[in-house]
């Protein structure tokens, strides 16, 4: 028996001896969020109410992606014994954002299911459920299993880390995956999934369409004056753009090719640069 299996058995044994849960956790995740003092926007409620196995969220900055992931994971952990969630992102600090939101909700609710272990990177409950935050590094993520994989800042996750270390974590459990991000380059696992894989439930929301920013438009107007246009279009309007260091925009090249224009390769002399 593996170490993970032994820990599960021990957790179940402890759960049998603890007193019953005294806080009634709603079965509906939207009602659960309200109980935790979180007012969700309409798009967040729609995602929460869907039981689709694979969700991909292309959303602008500060639209509430992390809050949505935190509510989803904590609700599952409290209502489904033995439910494991892994939060991953390019760095540990980034993966901790939705995880620590979930911990804050857990504490605000009075810890409705007692914890065996409560750390800055992991929460283990007596009902056998776990939440963990990790950096998405392929060589260190092999061997983990989860019922829900939350991939934050997914556009910046390397393909090998996702396919080699992260995706296999839900293969055995046939679990859920929530991939969320602003755009980055128009390539890689996030862009390929968004543009091509029909098995995913898609959610698209620019920051300008977010209910919060519609109530406070001056905040986005201020951001516009502080950042380059390409950055605002990518991070807040969710446009897949070319690398800011590229000489040509791939969209322009593709458009020219579709129009039947002759495209010639440009060659440079060795000392051009």
Dihedrals phi, psi of 202, to nearest 5 degrees: -100, 140
> Residue 21 has what pLDDT?
45
Secondary structure of the chain in HEC code, one letter for each residue: CCHHHHHHHHHHHHHHHCCCCCCCCCCCHHHHHHHCCCCCCHHHHHHHHCCCCEEEEEECCCCCHHHHHHHHHHHHHHHCCCCEEEEEECCHHHHHHHHHHHHHHHHHCCCCCCEEEECCCEEEECCCCEEEEEECCHHHHCCCCCCEEEECCHHHCCHHHHHHHHHHHHCCCCCEEEEEECCCCCCCHHHHHHHHCCCCEEEEECHHHCHHHHHCHHHHHHHHCCCCHHHHHHHCCCCCCCCCCCCCCHHHHHHHHHCCCCCCCCCCCCCCC
> Residue 251 has what pLDDT?
53
More confident residue, 15 or 261: 261
- DSSP strand pairing (122-125 vs 115-118): antiparallel
Q: Average per-residue pLDDT in the chain? A: 83
- CA quadruple 55, 61, 66, 67: dihedral positive or negative? negative
Residue 36, both tokens? 């935790």
Confidence of residue 19 (pLDDT cuts 50, 70, 90): very low
Predicted TM-score (pTM) of the model is 0.79
- Residue pointed to by tokens 């992260």: 166
More confident residue, 158 or 265: 158
The share of the chain scoring above pLDDT 70, in percent, equals: 77
> Residue 259 has what pLDDT?
57
Residue ranges of domains in the chain = 3-258
- pLDDT tens column, 99-156: 999 999 999 999 999 999 999 999 999 999 999 999 987 554 555 789 999 999 999 9
Dihedrals phi, psi of 55, to nearest 5 degrees: -120, 135
More confident residue, 165 or 92: 92
Q: What value, to the nearest 5°, has the Cα angle with vertex 34 and ends 32 and 36?
A: 75
Alpha carbon distance 194, 186 (integer Å): 10
> Residue 1 has what pLDDT?
47
> Residue 269 has what pLDDT?
56
More confident residue, 85 or 21: 85
CATH classification for the domain delimited by 3-258, as one of 3.40.50.300, 3.40.50.1860, 3.40.50.720, 3.30.930.10: 3.40.50.300
Give the CA radius of gyration of the chain. 22
Confidence of residue 231 (pLDDT cuts 50, 70, 90): very high
Confidence of residue 171 (pLDDT cuts 50, 70, 90): low
């Amino acid at each position: 028996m593996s170490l993970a299996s032994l820990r599960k058995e021990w957790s179940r044994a402890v759960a049998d001896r603890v007193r019953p849960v005294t806080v009634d956790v709603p079965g509906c995740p939207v009602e659960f969020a309200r109980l935790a003092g979180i007012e969700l926007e309409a798009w967040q409620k729609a995602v929460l109410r869907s039981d689709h196995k694979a969700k991909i969220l292309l959303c602008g900055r500060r639209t509430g992606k992390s809050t949505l992931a935190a509510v989803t994971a904590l609700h599952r952990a409290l209502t489904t014994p033995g439910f494991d969630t892994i939060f991953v992102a390019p760095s540990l600090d980034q993966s901790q954002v939705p995880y620590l939101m979930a911990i804050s909700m857990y504490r605000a609710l009075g810890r409705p299911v007692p914890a065996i272990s409560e750390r800055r990177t992991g929460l283990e409950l007596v009902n056998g459920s776990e939440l963990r935050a990790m950096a998405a590094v392929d060589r260190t993520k092999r061997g983990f299993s989860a019922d829900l994989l939350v991939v934050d800042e997914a556009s910046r996750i390397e393909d090998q880390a996702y396919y080699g270390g992260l995706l296999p974590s839900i293969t055995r459990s046939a679990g859920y995956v929530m991939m969320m991000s602003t755009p980055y380059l128009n390539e890689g696992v996030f862009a390929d999934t968004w543009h091509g894989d029909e098995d995913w439930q898609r959610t698209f929301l620019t920051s300008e369409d977010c209910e919060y920013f519609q109530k406070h438009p001056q905040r986005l107007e201020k951001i516009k004056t502080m950042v380059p246009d390409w950055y605002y279009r990518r991070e807040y309007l969710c446009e897949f753009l070319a690398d800011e260091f590229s000489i040509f925009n791939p969209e322009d090249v593709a458009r020219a090719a579709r129009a039947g224009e002759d495209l010639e390769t440009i060659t440079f002399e060795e000392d051009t640069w």
